Structure 1
Amino acid sequence: MLKTIFGQIDFTLPRRKCSHCRRTFSIIPQPLKLLKLSPNSNVTPELRKVAILCGTSWPFRQAAEVLRNLASVELSPAHIQWLCSKQAVAAKAQFKEKHDSAYWPALIETMETLVEPLVEEAKRETSEKTSHSKEQAWSAKPVYIGIDGTFINAQPGKRFFEAKVGIVFTDQRIRVSKGRNLLLNKQYVGSCQSVSEFGKRLFCCATEMGVKKETELIVLVDGARWISQLAKTQYPQARLILDW
């Protein structure tokens, strides 16, 4: 039995028995080898992608119902959850490999920026002039970062954990309709892990968006203490705006 995006295909494979070890086995035909199925799996790569997309868009039980109605294929909610978890492990490893090399050098540069005001404390009389020169050195297009979080009820443990989200964007936009604009240059980041792990992902996202030491950066916060502390630590030169 093979499960595809076109439905379920039933077929039989001839079984053989080894005369030496007495174990039975099946010889996989060449067409099945071309499908590049995962070990011990009868789900095609295309169906796996669709199942993961459904599993990340709806609850697993509803995702199974959508696949049943659209593709006439049966995948249990637990199977869809397993596929999503397996993909999440691969995505996490890819993310770590991609961003770890860029995170620490950029963070060191930011911490040097954080220390600079302490070194220049004795030159307070020239602060206005320095501030004016820095404003001229800022990029013409400011970058905005929005940070927020919400508590989610985790079942069946009946406890709450905070999902943290961030958006990094510029002011490039188009008008969709009256009172509605579409941001053209933006990236999202999210995590249900610790603040430090979320801050790491946000920092790498901002770096990819071109945020540097001289960038004019505006951080939108809602007053939560962890958000303000994160913004002041990672972006000491940023301007914080309270956004309810």
Structure 2
Amino acid sequence: MHIQVSLIVDIDATTDLANMEAQIQAAGHHAMRQGLQQGIRQWELNHRSCPHCSSGQGRIEGTVAQTIQSLFGTVRIARVRIRCQQCFHRFCPAQPLLQPLQRGRVSTALADAACLAGSSWPYRHAAQVLARLSGAQISAEEIRLLTNARGHMVAKEQAQDQPVPVPTTGQQDEGEPHSADRIIIGLDGGWVPNRERRGGMEGKIAVVASHKVIVNEPEAPSGNMSWIELERYVQHHRTPVVSRSRWQKRRYAATFAFTEASVIGQQAAQTVQVLGIEQQEQVVIADGAQWIKTQTQRHFPEATCILDWPHLWRTMIKAVRAVGLQREEDAKWVTAQSKQLRTWLWKGQIEKAQERLQRWQQEGRGHPKVKALQAALTYLKN
């Protein structure tokens, strides 16, 4: 097929570069739409044989209007309808050509771009980006439907390729040697907005870190240092120096399956098994959520469970401030109690922190209950 499209752009002689670029881009999009119209029309001229009897004798019986959303804008065409003079079947020659259109009107290239933009930005912003960059006229709702359909298709493919879940008995092979290395397993969840579920949906993620390596050994003062070098060392090492390390290997697993939390637990266990580190010492770091405790007991029964410091301290400081507000204490009291609790918890002396919180709870009898204090006690007990 031979297609010829003329492009003539009238540009003001006093215009700037930005306006010139915009005018040329708009003219190019218009020429692309004309080229697609002519290409479809030429296809119809070359494919007039009846699909039922392969006869080339046909009579035109009107046209059917159709709109195509392409990567360079909206293209309106008139599909030709032909009546075969041999078998009297009516057909549209362009039907096989337009069969791959997504949702009957979106081209494959635009669908791919819409899914990429819809998974990167909010749908309305994605529609604006596509219109500005390529001239595509597609609504935010259309992008949402295409992105969700592509997501469901990818989810089905991943579900088919998912390996068989590992047994949840927690038994290890006795023949393999036990390594002294430690692996860290982090489990957490976060809520994100979702138009189909009121209140959003929770995404759960698991991080498996292994192969700890020393990045930088602590620098120790030397006896050969001069007084100036020693003074500089003291200025830069006001706190005890420790060796800096990092986890060389990390594996991630995530899911938005809102029906049950067992999916992320199985994914974390499969990740540990694939890495071949199930015999190593396991440490689970989490925020104390009930679903995390259940999955830890099911898939990592011998692991050491540690509350992550940001969630723990956020709960403790709320309790200290609430108690100080109820007892009308000053800021110095809040600072002193916070410092004491931070020292106990950082050193793992949870019993002392519980005794202090329980004492505050007993002293506050007869007054309204402090919800933050009760939440802190529940956090430490569980």
TM-score normalised to structure 2 length:
0.46
Seen in structure 2, the aligned counterparts of structure 1 residues 92 and 154 have a Cα distance that, compared at 3 Å, is closer
Q: Does 1:113 align with 2:171?
A: yes
The DSSP-based 3-state class of the residue aligned with 1:51 is: helix
User: What is the rounded CA distance, in whole Å, between the counterparts of 1:15 and 1:9 in structure 2?
Assistant: 19
Contact 1:144/1:220, CA 8 A, preserved across alignment: yes
Aligned to 1:27: 94
Aligned to 1:237: 302
Please point out which of 163, 171, 179 is paired with 2:203: 163
User: Which of 1 and 2 has higher RCO (CA within 8 Å, sep 6+)?
Assistant: 1
Q: Deviations over 1:12-60 (max 9, x none)?
A: 4651233466645242587x78xx554724322x432321122122221
Please point out which of 71, 75, 87 is paired with 1:10: 75
Contact 2:74/2:136, CA 8 A, preserved across alignment: no
The DSSP-based 3-state class of the residue aligned with 1:138 is: coil
**Structural mapping, 1:62-211, within 5 Å:** 62-99=125-162, 101-103=163-165, 106=166, 108=167, 110-111=168-169, 113=171, 137-138=178-179, 140=181, 142-152=182-192, 158-159=198-199, 161-171=201-211, 185-193=250-258, 194-208=260-274, 210-211=275-276
1:25 aligned partner, one-letter code: C
The DSSP-based 3-state class of the residue aligned with 2:171 is: helix
Seen in structure 2, the aligned counterparts of structure 1 residues 168 and 74 have a Cα distance that, compared at 3 Å, is farther
The alpha carbon displacement at 1:156 in A equals 7.7
User: What is the rounded CA distance, in whole Å, between the counterparts of 2:213 and 2:178 in structure 1?
Assistant: 24
User: What is the rounded CA distance, in whole Å, between the counterparts of 1:204 and 1:43 in structure 2?
Assistant: 39
Please point out which of 212, 217, 222 is paired with 2:287: 222
Aligned to 1:56: 119
Q: Deviations over 1:153-191 (max 9, x none)?
A: 65586535533222233357899xxx9x89764324132
Contact 1:173/1:184, CA 8 A, preserved across alignment: no
The DSSP-based 3-state class of the residue aligned with 2:169 is: helix
Seen in structure 2, the aligned counterparts of structure 1 residues 98 and 158 have a Cα distance that, compared at 3 Å, is closer
State, as a whole percentage, how many aligned pairs show the same letter.
Answer: 22
Gaps of 5+ in 2: 1-66, 216-243, 310-382
The DSSP-based 3-state class of the residue aligned with 2:187 is: strand
The DSSP-based 3-state class of the residue aligned with 1:170 is: strand
User: What is the rounded CA distance, in whole Å, between the counterparts of 1:67 and 1:22 in structure 2?
Assistant: 41
Gaps of 5+ in 1: 117-129
Q: Deviations over 1:119-160 (max 9, x none)?
A: xxxxxxxxxxx9xx99x61274x4322111234465586535
